[in-house]
Structure 1
């Protein structure tokens, strides 16, 4: 079996700085990498403080980009984003402040077309069943019940079965 050489503190700092220069990463990801490399807790703390002081790691900046990307590209709602940030060990105060800054209109901008496209594919025997399936789908994407309900209430069904959601 091939034995890996343990990584030294200066090497770890350089590797992590290079990684952070390529893209945004949170402190939780950095700690996880250092733990996998077998660095001591003291070394992890020193390296993380150095990366933070040099502005390579900034959890608030990371969270802002993460939230923006997950809303725009993955079309996630607040709950799913909160859970993903928790899994990445981002401080809940930072996550809450960034998520509170996002307006409901931004979520609705994503939710309306998402629900309209899902509506067309749902097979249901009643409007109630269709609504429940839409709610389940949207909640799985992490949207809050009040936004889902608002979106369903705004939906207008055309005679050909298409749903148009009213733009604000």
Structure 2
């Protein structure tokens, strides 16, 4: 209870912690049921906090957030609800800011190389290809289309 009171935890996190402590599976499930019943652990609340943190502080996109929450054992419906609250024009603005920041620090020989690096960077942050391509093209309009290779 003390660990859950200090920081938001998911049920998967709690299971991993208890497994690491050597707790028997049945005992761990009983403890987890009590923590969930007393609302120390709530996967919906955890997912919402995780999405807010990763969007605002880390600049992650929806794909990367979805994958991280799935690895933590959060149900897909819960992930969808948490992401639905955060998606919108704010995500597009964050992507633009991240790509602008990257464009100032990356080395490139041609505008096409810059655009390619920006696209790779945007995808690595977890944004969808269409949004990344549109934003990179808007930042660097002097390049040919990258779609010629597909």
Match of 1:8 in 2: none
- Is 2:125 aligned against 1:141? yes
Find the partner of 2:100 among 93, 112, 116.
116
> Unpaired runs of 5+ in structure 1?
1-16, 158-168
CA contact (8 A) 2:115 2:137 kept: no
Structure with the higher fraction of residues in helix conformation: 2
Q: CA RMSD in A?
A: 1.6
Find the partner of 2:39 among 51, 55, 59.
55
Find the partner of 2:135 among 135, 151, 165.
151
Task: Normalising by structure 2, report the TM-score.
Answer: 0.86
- Is 2:121 aligned against 1:125? no
Q: Which has the larger radius of gyration?
A: 1
Which digits, 9 at most, give the CA deviation of each residue in 1:55-89, with x for residues without a partner? 00000000000000000001111111112112222
Q: Quick one: distance in 1 between partners of 2:90 and 2:11? A: 27
Stretches (4+) displaced over 4 A: none
Instruction: For residue 86 of structure 2, give the secondary structure of its aligned residue in structure 1.
Output: coil
May I ask how many residue pairs the two structures share in their alignment? Answer: 141
Match of 1:164 in 2: none
> Unpaired runs of 5+ in structure 2?
142-150
Which digits, 9 at most, give the CA deviation of each residue in 1:86-113, with x for residues without a partner? 2222222211221133223121121111
Find the partner of 2:65 among 40, 62, 81.
81
Q: Quick one: distance in 1 between partners of 2:90 and 2:33? A: 35
- Is 2:88 aligned against 1:104? yes
CA contact (8 A) 2:47 2:82 kept: yes
Q: Quick one: distance in 1 between partners of 2:46 and 2:65? A: 13
Report the Cα offset of residue 156 of structure 1: 6.2
Task: Normalising by structure 1, report the TM-score.
Answer: 0.78
